[in-house]
Structure 1
Amino acid sequence: MTVFTAVLLSLAASAFAFLAAPAFAQGSDAMPSFNGTVLAVAYSGNIVYVGGDFTAAIVNGKPVARGRLAAIDARKGTLLPWSPTADGRVKALVVSGQSIYVAGDFAAIDGVKRDSLARLDVTTGALHSTFKHTISGKPLAAFAAHGRLYLGGTITAVDGQARGRLAAFNLSTGALDKRWLPTADDQVETIAAGGGRVYVGGKFHRVNSVPGYDRLAALDPASAALVTTFKPKPPVITYALAVTTDTVYSAHGGQGGRISSYTPAGALRWSATFDGDAQAVTVLGDTVYAGGHFDRACSTARTGAQGTCVDGADNRVKLAALSAADGHLLDWTADANGVEGVLALAANPRLKTIAMGGAFTTVEGRQQKRFAQFS
């Protein structure tokens, strides 16, 4: 082999390694903290919105009033003036166009009656005057796609019309969708859309009164008909979903938690096991991020009492990064703390950042309460 050929091969190998390297966030940014749990995070351009149980953001050690909703400049790490106030817990945030939809366990926004669901302006925080509904039950998850806002939880009725833990609203008019009428026999914890489907996860065993669609199912976005070819039947509760055009990633609890990867046909590609619930999942480039209240990533799927890893493990405290291709554990470590740990994750592909919320108070060994971003 000539020296020239060897150099070319070396350069080609280096280029391939660069292209194949996972595009995952490296270090925790300087960001505001919060005085209560962050349960939802959502990006819109250069802004990251957060919702939860907090009543103040903490900036340079000083509290700044924020009523369970806040916005942060994701590039600069500065708290923005955007400050609508919810009088109860915010559980889900969804950005669509110039609006952000807020769902949770509240009765009013900025003192104006809104029953568990509201629409706000992404720039001003102003409450939309005509988007108002009466919800029976608690919304736990929301997602915007296909011209609709999809809502899931323990919902039994909207505006007096019966619903089976799922509902949808027209994004243009705000009206309750009277055609999208799926039912689940137990609560829905998460909703996501992709590949022309709406995926729902939770505790349920029947969808549209059909048995055998345990804890994870796919629905037609317009008719709500079951996608019968997608029937993965995970054995434990589904807490969170992240969907790409050709893969469904799911976060599960149980005796030890897990992150799983499914094909659109419902076939299991891979599953990674932890010693505690996986409660959040997101994807950035070739990397899948997992968040939860686990402390270790198990070497095999076998777990013992209380989810203990049986066949060896690597320390991954509340956070882990996995290869999207085969689920193998990556070297990235950004340990958080706390019992509940990480409860929400979101990715911004343009900024190449990951945002997370939860009940933690430290990240990477330094104080960072309940919200963090990696870039």
Structure 2
Amino acid sequence: MTYRGKTLATVFMAVLLFVAAPAFAQGSDAMPSFNGTVLTVAYSGNIVYVGGDFTAAIVNGKPVARARLAAVDARNGTLLPWSPTADGRVKALVVSGKSIYVAGDFASIGGVKRDSLARLDAATGAPHSTFKHAISGRPMAAYAAHGRLYLGGSITAVDGQARTRLAAFNLTTGALDTRWRPAADDQVETIAAGGGRVYVGGKFHRVNGLAGYNRLAALDPATAAVVPTFKPKPPVITYALTVTADSVYSAHGGQGGRVSAYTHAGALRWSATFDGDAQAVTVLADTVYAGGHFDRACSTARTGAQGTCVDGADNRIKLAALSAADGHLLDWTADANGIEGVLALASSPRLNAIAMGGAFTTVEGRQQKRFAQFS
């Protein structure tokens, strides 16, 4: 079922939100811009780490070299000196303790050979010598939980050992996990964890050879067995996931895009439809934030040619805020621009802030290239 309707004005996108939040200003914080697409963002304390295709940050109109990785003080927008240099795209970035795990299309970081996956020191950016692997295929997603780094994408082998689009590594030793080796029959786009499970989403239809786990499945964090009670079967590709104590939130593409909320038992709680792909999702307090390349939030689930809303819509350009309780579209707007729009979202309850990355160049009509924060 699809919920629409207006609720109290709430801050979206990269907004700081309290449980009963008043409306915040629609302009984003003063933050660096970047000269290439930002594909992943992650908070750690007062710092927000950024990864993507860029080769420079833009500070006060001037370029500062940053080769696909950067760190920003989330409190004041200062570009920090943390600057490991990746020689190719960074697609996923995960913070775990004093380490930053990055995955993507690179062959080296900081002049040190690292095949598509690296562990970096959160303070210095130096690659760790104990974490070095050979990856066949492209990593697309990563998540740290249960003492493991979970990795997904189009992976076919790690260190010469066969893997079928998913793999895991021990966070303490850095070793490839020999026990956790599920198999998905198509690309994995996103990974999240919560409630004693690992959730994976993407293009697949079968997991561990089992049918009926289309595009979204839950796995045991230690054995990789499919959780049979979680079987939502979304009808379109899953691009992003976030998990809370009571729900699994997913962002989807398709003919028009959607954001859905599922119970941990796999029952659909609500679904919100847009006129373009939803590519990112995060939760802060009682609000779900969605990013993508949509321009309108549809009044019903019905879409026409190329995802056009059939039964009316509200303008929400690349960003939308939804009630976590029932999926109602909230009034706050902070429009971004571009074709691809917003590709990554992250939230920080500590800072009451949300960061976003993508291919946009303006937010609410003000120049802010490819990275923004609301707080």
Equivalent-residue separation in structure 1 for 2:207 and 2:201 (angstroms): 11
Q: How does 1:130-279 map to 2 (within 5 A)?
A: 130-279=130-279
Q: Tell me if the contact between 2:114 and 2:133 (Cα under 8 Å) persists in the aligned partners.
A: yes
> What does the per-residue CA deviation read over 1:72-96, in whole Å, with 9 as the maximum and x for residues that have no partner?
0000101000000000000000000
Instruction: Name whichever of 125-134 and 185-194 sits farther off.
Output: 125-134
User: Which residue is equivalent to 1:337?
Assistant: 337
Q: Which residue of 1 aligns with 2:324?
A: 324
The aligned residue for residue 98 of structure 1 is 98
- Aligned mates of 1:368, 1:336 — CA distance in 2: 9
In structure 2, distance between residues paired with 1:19 and 1:39: 27
Q: 1:294-333 residue pairs with structure 2 within 5 A?
A: 294-333=294-333
Q: Conserved in 2, the CA contact under 8 Å of 1:188 and 1:204?
A: yes
What's the counterpart of residue 12 of structure 2? none
Whole-angstrom CA distance in 1 between matches of 2:144 and 2:308:
37
3-state SS of 2:70 partner: strand
Structure 1 residue runs without a partner (length 5+): 1-17
Q: How far apart, in 2, do the equivalents of 1:158 and 1:22 lie?
A: 46
**Do residues 356 (structure 1) and 356 (structure 2) align?**
yes
Given residue 224 of structure 2, which amino acid in structure 1 is its aligned partner? A
Residues 224-246 of structure 1: CA deviation (Å, up to 9, x unaligned): 00000000000000000000121
- The residue type paired with residue 366 of structure 1 is R
Q: Which amino acid aligns with 2:293?
A: H
**1:22–1:285 contact (8 Å) kept in structure 2:** no
Aligned counterparts of 1:19 and 1:30: Cα–Cα separation in 2:
21
Flag the 1:105–1:225 CA change in 2: closer, same or farther, 3 A: same
Residues 284/23 of structure 1: CA separation in 2 closer, same or farther (3 Å cut) = farther
Q: Is the 8 A contact 1:22 1:286 kept in 2?
A: no
Letter in 1 for 2:317: V
Query: Residue 316 of structure 1 contacts residue 333 of structure 1 at CA under 8 Å; is this kept in 2?
Result: yes
Partner secondary structure for residue 333 of structure 2? coil
- How far 1:23 sits from its partner (Å)? 8.0
> CA separation in 2, counterparts of 1:19 and 1:236?
32
Residue 166 and residue 321 in structure 1: after superposition, are their counterparts in 2 closer, same or farther (change >3 A)?
Answer: same
Give the structure 2 partner of residue 21 of structure 1: 20
Q: Structure 1, residues 272-312: CA drift from partner, whole Å, max 9, x if none?
A: 00000000000000000000000000000000000000000
Q: What CA distance in whole angstroms lies between the structure 2 residues aligned with 1:330 and 1:352? A: 18
Give the secondary-structure state (helix, strand or coil) at the position aligned to 1:101: strand
Aligned to 2:306, the other structure's residue is in SS state: helix
Q: Do the aligned partners of residues 66 and 19 (structure 1) sit closer, same or farther apart at CA in structure 2, a change above 3 Å counting?
A: closer
Equivalent residue, structure 2, for 1:83: 83
1:25–1:353 CA contact under 8 A, matched in 2:
no
Cα distance between partner residues in 2 of 1:204 and 1:187 = 6
Deviation for aligned residue 1:25: 6.6
Q: How far is the alpha carbon of 1:129 from its aligned partner?
A: 1.1
**Paired position in structure 2 for 1:70:** 70
**Shift of the alpha carbon at 1:21?**
2.4
SS in 2 for 1:306: helix
Q: What letter corresponds to residue 70 of structure 1 in structure 2?
A: A
Kept in 1: contact 2:18–2:285 (CA 8 A): no
What is the letter of the counterpart of residue 21 of structure 1? Answer: A
> Within 1, Cα distance between the matches of 2:328 and 2:20?
14
Residue equivalent to 1:129: 129
Distance 2:312 2:195 in 1: 37
Gaps of 5+ in 2: 1-16
- After superposition, the Cα gap between the structure-2 partners of 1:65 and 1:282, relative to the gap in structure 1 and judged at 3 Å, is same
- Give a deviation string over 1:83-140, Cα, whole Å, max 9, x none: 0000000000000000000000000001110000000011111110120000000000
Checking the alignment, whether the CA contact within 8 Å between 2:137 and 2:154 is kept in structure 1 is yes
1:212–1:233 contact (8 Å) kept in structure 2: yes
Instruction: Please tell me whether the aligned partners of residues 103 and 118 of structure 2 are also in contact (alpha carbons under 8 angstroms).
Output: yes
Per the TM alignment, residue 20 of structure 1 is displaced from its structure 2 partner at its CA by: 5.5
**Corresponding position of 1:289:** 289
Q: Higher relative CO (CA 8 A, sep ≥ 6), structure 1 or 2?
A: 2
Once the two structures are superposed, what CA deviation does each residue of 1:330-361 show, in whole Å capped at 9, x if it has no partner?
01100000000000000000100000000000
Tell me the SS of whatever aligns to 1:346.
strand
Higher helix share: 1
Distance 1:45 1:26 in 2: 24
- Number of paired residues? 358
On the 8 A contact 1:32/1:58 being kept in 2, the answer is yes
